[in-house]
Structure 1
Amino acid sequence: MDMTRWFYIDKKKYDAAVKTVDQIAMDLERDFDTSKPVIFTGNYDIPYSIVQDAYVSYSSPVYYKMKRLADLVDPDLLDKYNRGSRGVWVAQTPALSVIDWGRYAFDSDAELVKFFEMHGHQLVALEDISLYAAAEEESLDLPEYPQEGYIVDKGDYIIVHF
């Protein structure tokens, strides 16, 4: 894999994130009071078709070579990079999302709200970080974006669930 390909993948990831942000903002602006703080829950998955080169399939010869070598160092090493049905994560940065970074890089998801603002959408970040754990718990049974019901008005704030 060469650098040009990774830059191309990064651009496709960014475009997919912007499309997602635009859709969420449209849903919020159409159906909810956007003067209320917003909290984002769950995990955003980049479409696999974009990031598939960052993974190695469990059934591939490359996976078995990696496993043999990794097991010499630590039998559990490769398990740390297992990503479910996607396979083993072999290139971290190309598989990361600006949306998840905006949620998890700091104590709140204020950086994700700034990403919305960069693309012309005015949202209010939830400043009371003590509410995040309860919101995550409340959102466990919610449908995930883009399914109907992925946004819920909780009175004092709005949950957007990935």
Structure 2
Amino acid sequence: MGTIVVMGVSGCGKSTVAASAARTLGRPFLEGDDLHPPANRARMAAGSPLTDDDRWPWLHLIRAWMVEHPGGVVACSALRRGYRDLLRTAGDVRFVHISVPADVLRQRLTDRTGHWMPASLLDSQLATLEPLTPDEGVILDGQLPLEELLRQLTQLTTHRPTVA
């Protein structure tokens, strides 16, 4: 059983989907945002996007968790292929990108309360995002109901497509 990384920009629903999938599958769960150091959180809360230099130490912490919890489920933005390449070194990793149109994301972030990630950073995340390629994983429609997303994600854990 490989580790599942549910990825995407802020507001796509990756945390909800990943936490629900972990419960459904009986696997350990990591909310990647919980490993951000206080300086990263403060920077984002102030409306400043993270740089690669900010992200690499955080990604290494996520990778370490993945090594310690093989078969877990992780919610992590994993916006660039290089970030995913690092996470992939933790072992058997499957990426599931929760994709949502920008206008829907913007509305979700505007409506969200009690989260430190401001809607003003959405454009920088979208600009940073390098969509999954077929050899990396699958893209799911983040506008589907949670139950359908979980059904599709669960199906992926039992039927892994062969990449030629």
TM-score by length of 1: 0.29
TM-score by length of 2: 0.29
- Structure number with bigger Rg: 1
